[in-house]
Amino acid sequence: MSTGHIGDLTVRRVGYGAMQLAGPGVFGPSADPENNKKVLRRAVELGVDHIDTAQFYGPDVVNDLIREALHPYPENLRLVTKVGAQRGEKGEWLPAGDPDQIVEQVEQNLRSLGTEQLAMVNLRRYELDAPGGEEPDLDEQLAALVTLREQGKIAQIGISSVPAATVRRAVEAAGVVSVQNPYSILDRSGQEALEAAREHGLAFVPYFPLGSAFTGGPEKIAAGPHIAAVAQKHGVAPTQVALAWLLAQYENVLLIPGTASVAHLEDNLAVDDIELDPEDLLQLAKVEESPVGH
């Protein structure tokens, strides 16, 4: 079992992303909440100590499931949330990053999860979605999170969906300890942000780790001959190879693959046992990128 760190918190390198526990499009109630609670409990049974969630998944749906399934929480369980967005009446993803909105979103996460402190809160920016667009002032956003950290409501601050320059600014302004950006063997547009994380010893948490499911990422991985060859060599699934490749990029890459299936959860956690050798990595370096929009 390999471990990484979120600031001064030690976690297993393969955690769990709870986004898929909400309804279609991460909006509305789950079709099978009892199954989803079983997935959460099984994750903890298997040693998962890092769960990634957000109040706007549902909204409220995912946090409520986590609380109902796992509260009172194991002492070592790190609950990580995200702020800076909200949902419209039809499920639209809308920016909500003013400092007062950030404070209220943290309070909402604390209430819905039934906890007094969040292990980390990621500030979700829109710099990758709409480069050059108008956004709330970064320093003001981070100042709000620093105040919450000083109040003991959050332990660590992370940043999400930003270029490398913003990572460096956020480290200087607020001591952020983690970057959560899109990154996968199919989409390496986040490489500079990963290098900034390495430079500062931050955690790097890739989302869309198999490429976006919305644009067929897992299917593209399954069809790739180079990935298939390495998968056959190790007797594992192509998606497991793609996740193992991410772990091989930097010792503090932390994975949060999501699923609403116990069997799929177990496959994801087994990725930590796959050891890619230099020959494997040379083969995987031949994979052509197939980036998705952010």
Catalytic residues: 57
Residue 197 Cα distances to 121, 190, 200, 230, 231, angstroms: 17, 11, 5, 28, 28
Is residue 273 within 8 Å of residue 34, measured between CB atoms?
no
76: how many CB neighbours lie within 10 A of its CB?
13
CA 88-131-179 angle, to 5 degrees, is 80
Q: Mind spelling out the 3-state secondary structure of the chain?
A: CCEEEECCEEEECECEECHHHCCHHHECCCCCHHHHHHHHHHHHHCCCCEEECCCCCECCHHHHHHHHHHCCCCCCCEEEEEECEEECCCCCEEECCCHHHHHHHHHHHHHHHCCCCEEEEEEECCCCCCCCCCCCCHHHHHHHHHHHHHCCCEEEEEEECCCHHHHHHHHHHHCCCEEEEECCCCCCCCHHHHHHHHHHCCEEEEECECECHHHCHHHHHHHCHHHHHHHHHHCCCHHHHHHHHHHCCCCCECECCECCCHHHHHHHHHHHHCCCCHHHHHHHCCCCCCCCCC
Q: Distance between alpha carbon 163 and the CA centroid of its chain, in Å?
A: 16
